Amino acid sequence: MHRAFLIPILVILFSSGCIQSIALRSTGEIVDYGLEAINEESDLQLAEQSIASDLKLLDGLLKGDPENEHLLLMAARGYGSFALGFAEDSSPERARMFYLRARDYGLRVLTHRERFKKAWDKDLGAFQQALAEFGRDDVPAVFWTANGWGNYIRLNLTDPGAIADIPKVESLLKFVVEHNETYFYGGAHLAMGILLGSRPKILAGDPEGARKHFDRCLEISQGKFLMADVFYAMTYAVQTQNRELFSALLQKVNESSLDLLPEQRLANAIAKKKGEKLLERISDLFE
Amino acid sequence: MNLGRTALLVFLFLASSLILCAQEYLIKFATLAPEGSTWLNVMREYDSEVRKESGGRLGFKIYGGGVAGDEKDVIRKIRLGQFHSAGFTGVGLGEIAPKVRVLDCPFLFQSYDEVDYVYKTFDKEFAQAFEENRYVLLGWAEVGFVYIFSQSPIYGVDDVRKTKMWIWEGDPIAEATLKSLGVSATPLSITDVLTSLQTGMINAVYTSPLGAIALQWFTRVKYMLNLPLADAAGAVVIWKKKFDDLPPDLREILLRNGQKYMEKLTRLSREDNRKAIETLKKNSIKLIAPPSTETIREYFGIGERARRTLVGKLFSEEFLTRVEKAVLDFRSHEKHSK
């Protein structure tokens, strides 16, 4: 009797796609935990393999649920991290592609707002007006979009079209700084530091501004997010030819324990590897 | 037998390590161009080719992104022997070989073919101008055509006069040009231009399309007068003493590849500037064509007068006249062959 009732209900559920959504939601949670576990991983090889397959799983889940903001954000974040950790140094070409994917996943969340959808590829004025409609809840989407976009530009400085988007990325980062500057260990300050610190003043750089952003990021993260020290050394310290600062920052990275920030063990392991390589180039980078 | 073999191995080891670490001739090089830019990428290609051909005896140590200071700082450091070579634009070239600034003169060129023709025709004279000032030219690497960008539309000379124009402080060519145009310009350092466009202290600037993007000035202007104001020159040079210290074979490698790679760079930066114009259009910058040949002629007349006022300061009248004549000859030849 009961069973006879149940079957039609199941049929209805399946055909309406409800079950599918429930299934996707729980798979999404598995991916959540999976990424969390990856972020805690200190073995770079194991992390590289698992993050790659998780990203494909995310791509697949998004095919079934293309507007799911949570999944889109995970993909934006995941592709950005994968590019930084496992592609940038060995294959900038691949890293560029992954950063662009990261940006586009982030943009898919932001362009749910009609105004931003119309304005994001228009001029800076229109872009900034559309951005002003967002609030504190939108900080993660704004931040991970900026992260993918800014890093894409950083690896694409031969393209005038990419360079022209720097002011837009700066606007996104300023938004994050204004609405929730502590989000992701002060990551918006870190990204601003990189943008302003990697060019001389005469080419629209701002070393002093960069230093303030890096210092604020270190303050917010209590010096536990080592990627900040690495990029501080790579950009500001080199640009201002401050060899002492360069060595001190990288020395600190080198001596820091991987358990400094357990939930970001992977990022810190990557930072340590990058820091080591950077330190080897010291005689090339300073007069 | 065994001993002989060991000796041979030791010898081979020593010989190979000598090749690896003995960079006999290292050229310290400085430029404002940042890491990752087309400019620096081609410079690195030049370096690796020189290293390859010289079997590792010769190479550059490259300092990009202005870390060695601005062009005037670098010239001072070269004199002190701390640097040997650099990529310079107008400012630096004016210091070390004023005569070549004829290339920067207003309304002299209408196309890059004309520019190339002048490089070729006056090659020896330019090279000599550098040598007289203790530098050797390794290759031209221009910034490219410079245009006027403004917040309100500019068609004729009268519209230029109405602008609050920026001028790069201390640049004699810009001074002569803007004076002849009848503009009273505001001198500012490059780093203050963006803010001054924002506050309204100035409302017009001049730069290359790529420059307008890299400096972010394009976010504060709406129009570009689509008539090249000038072709901003650039060159890679080396301190003559350093060059003369090199053995003849290395000098040859350096010069030949310098020319080859700087030609490549010039080609690529012209392409970048073309792409930059497309990007500007996408960012709502309107390109304005001068309304009539009459207007163009008026601009050209102003250019001619401005160039005359530089005689005696940067170059001789005789030299200027020859350069102008070469451009006109080339132009009319092109016209007839079309």
Q: How far is A137 from chain B (nearest CA, A)?
A: 28
Q: Which residues of chain A have a CB within 8 Å of the CB of B66?
A: 200-203
What are the backbone dihedrals phi and psi of residue A164, each rounded to the nearest 5 degrees, phi first? -65, -15
- DSSP annotation of A256 reads S
Any A CB within 8 A of B275 CB: yes
Quick check: B34 and A199 CB within 8 A?
yes
Any B CB within 8 A of A89 CB: no
Q: pLDDT tens digits, residue range A70-127?
A: 999 999 999 999 999 999 999 999 999 999 999 999 999 999 999 999 999 999 999 9
What are the backbone dihedrals phi and psi of residue B212, each rounded to the nearest 5 degrees, phi first? -60, -35
**pLDDT at residue B20, as a whole number:** 46
Which residues of chain B have a pLDDT value below 70?
1-23, 338
- How far apart are the C-alpha atoms of B276 and B318, rounded to whole Å? 37
Please tell me which residue of chain B has the smallest CA distance to A128: B219
**pLDDT at residue A24, as a whole number:** 60
**pLDDT at residue B169, as a whole number:** 83
- DSSP annotation of A261 reads S
**pLDDT at residue B288, as a whole number:** 98
Any B CB within 8 A of A200 CB: yes
Quick check: B216 and A204 CB within 8 A?
yes
> CB atoms < 10 A from the CB of B311, how many?
14
User: Among A6-20, A152-166, B191-205, B216-230, whose mean pLDDT is lowest?
Assistant: A6-20
Q: Which residues of chain A have a CB within 8 Å of the CB of B219?
A: 123-124, 167
Quick check: B216 and A198 CB within 8 A?
no
Quick check: A203 and B61 CB within 8 A?
no
Any A CB within 8 A of B199 CB: no
The alpha-helical segments, DSSP class H, found in B57-148 are 71-79, 90-96, 112-121, 123-132
Please tell me which residue of chain B has the smallest CA distance to A166: B216
**Burial track B199-223 (b if 16+ CB lie within 10 A, e otherwise):** eeebbbbbbbbbbbbbbbbbbbbeb
Report CA Rg, chain B.
Answer: 23
Q: Are strands B234-239 and B85-89 parallel, antiparallel or unpaired?
A: antiparallel
**pLDDT at residue B19, as a whole number:** 46
Helix, coil or strand: residue A88: coil
**Burial track A29-59 (b if 16+ CB lie within 10 A, e otherwise):** eebeebbeebbebeeeeebbebbeebbebbe
**pLDDT at residue A19, as a whole number:** 52
Please tell me which residue of chain B has the smallest CA distance to A283: B61
**pLDDT at residue A11, as a whole number:** 47
**Which candidate in B28, B31, B35, B78 is best for mutational testing of the A interface (most A CBs within 10 A)?**
B35
CA B104 to each of CA A47, A49, A120, B186: distance values in angstroms, whole numbers, following the listed order: 55, 55, 38, 20
Q: Residue B316 carries which side chain, given as an amino acid letter?
A: S
Q: How confident is residue A200, by pLDDT bands cut at 50, 70 and 90?
A: confident
- pLDDT at residue A35 greater than cutoff 90: no
Residue bearing tokens 């245009």: B147
Quick check: A203 and B32 CB within 8 A?
yes
**Burial track B118-144 (b if 16+ CB lie within 10 A, e otherwise):** bbebbeeebeebbeeeebbbbbbbbbb
Among the partner-chain residues A160, A284, A287, the one whose CB lies closest to the CB of B276 is: A160
Among the partner-chain residues B41, B65, B209, the one whose CB lies closest to the CB of A239 is: B65
**pLDDT at residue B9, as a whole number:** 53
**pLDDT at residue A10, as a whole number:** 45
The size of chain B, in residues, is: 338
Across chain A, mean pLDDT equals 91
Any A CB within 8 A of B27 CB: no
Q: State the DSSP H helix or E strand holding residue B122, giving kind and residue range, or none if neither.
A: none
